[in-house]
Amino acid sequence: MSKNRYQYNASALLQNKQVESNHFVISDAAFKSLPVPEAYIELFNGFQVHWVIAGEECKSLQRAQEIWHWLDTVNATRFDTLIIIGGGTTTDLGAFVASTYKRGLNFILIPTTLLGMVDAAIGGKNGINFNGIKNAIGTFTEPSKITIDTSWLKTLPKRELLNGWMELSKHALVGDELLWKELGHYTPNDPDINWDKLVKAGSSIKRKIIESDFRESGERKILNFGHTIGHALESVAAESKTPLDHGFAVGVGMIVSLHWSAHRADEAFNKSELRDASDQLKKWLINEDNGDPWRWSTSQNPSELWPFMRKDKKNTSNAVLDIQLIGIGEANWDCPLEKLDFEMVWDAAF
């Protein structure tokens, strides 16, 4: 993988305008009424733009088809470049379209949410939802460039910052103890945060992991830390029509997984370090939206979550295969989590 693929300032964008091939933009319609950073106004004015209403619903075959049609209308060829500017839903949809149209054209990702900067835009996965299954159709295709510019975060709503903060925390917990310690000095809304530093560190963890396991046959699985439980919570929330953000659900999943990891740890030091990390995550989550998502999540019955956790096809007959932390910054994958242990640590965690 080319080291030049990642750029942490906007100047590259303007260079892109000088190249010969045609460039087309796909972006989040919310930016039509938000104060976008200066460099991008020029970009939106300089190229033809297809606007997308961001959100999970945009990751659909229908929206993909609309963009394929638009690319036909503007006579895009496979030598042209798509610039995709938005959060994770826009970049997942845009990258899927780019990787399939005319067997794939060049594309540049410009993530505008914290979650996009540290996670969704990194790693070459894209996808749309199909038949009620998230990311059921998609490809592994790397963009030619990823431009990460944290000035986008100025307009990001508080709850979206928390969503991204949870994925950033996850990266630190599985891969970088120093970053985890640094995050502990802040809350996600702290005005003193050096976003450039944190985003660079957070995205680098994912970059390093995917460099060694692009297609998720081994180590890349550790990026799912907290997600098996988090996804089960999201499924129960969806069934009962309770609003629950993905980042929040993953945060609760990490809290329980940290207790499970502490339960299995050999050393007393590691046990206490893992439980402290779980307390830190609780502090970030507990007051969100007047405490409603926290009260709802922690009042769930673990035996009702278990059937959703069992659905993952990688599981064995008796256990769920999950991610266990050995200590802060170090994780193992494919660790068997038994139902009784899950119920026990769920109760212990809150």
Ligand X SMILES: NC(=O)c1ccc[n+]([C@@H]2O[C@H](COP(=O)([O-])OP(=O)(O)OC[C@H]3O[C@@H](n4cnc5c(N)ncnc54)[C@H](O)[C@@H]3O)[C@@H](O)[C@H]2O)c1
Catalytic residue among 125, 145, 171, 275: 125
Asked if 263 is an active-site residue, the reply is no
Asked if 9 is an active-site residue, the reply is no
CB of 179 to ligand X, least distance (A): 18
Catalytic residue among 23, 170, 206, 275: 206
Asked if 216 is an active-site residue, the reply is yes
Cβ proximity to ligand X, 171 vs 264, nearer residue: 171
CB of 99 to ligand X, least distance (A): 12
CA 196 to chain centre: 18
**How far is the C-alpha of 183 from the C-alpha of 284, rounded, in Å?**
11
Catalytic residue among 231, 259, 264, 275: 231
Asked whether 43 and 13 are in contact (CB, 8 A), the reply is: yes
Q: β-pairing, 128-130 with 133-137?
A: antiparallel
Cβ proximity to ligand X, 162 vs 274, nearer residue: 162
Catalytic residue among 66, 182, 216, 330: 216
Cβ proximity to ligand X, 64 vs 349, nearer residue: 64
CB of 271 to ligand X, least distance (A): 30
Which residues lie across from 293 on neighbouring strands? none
Asked if 220 is an active-site residue, the reply is yes
Note the residues at the interface with ligand X (CB under 6 A).
28, 30, 34, 54-56, 59, 86-90, 92, 112-113, 115-116, 119-120, 123, 125-126, 135, 152, 155-156, 160, 163
Which residue's structure tokens are 């054209």? Answer: 105
Angstrom distances, CA of residue 3 to CA of 144, 222, 301: 11, 23, 46
Asked if 206 is an active-site residue, the reply is yes
Asked whether 262 and 274 are in contact (CB, 8 A), the reply is: yes
CB of 309 to ligand X, least distance (A): 18
**How far is the C-alpha of 20 from the C-alpha of 346, rounded, in Å?**
57
Asked if 224 is an active-site residue, the reply is yes
Asked if 50 is an active-site residue, the reply is no
Cβ proximity to ligand X, 127 vs 329, nearer residue: 127
Asked if 23 is an active-site residue, the reply is no
> How many degrees, rounded to 5, is the angle at CA 271 between CA 268 and CA 276?
125
Angstrom distances, CA of residue 118 to CA of 13, 56, 101, 169, 178: 19, 18, 26, 10, 16
CB of 117 to ligand X, least distance (A): 9
Annotated active-site positions, please? 103, 125, 167, 206, 216, 220, 224, 227, 231, 246
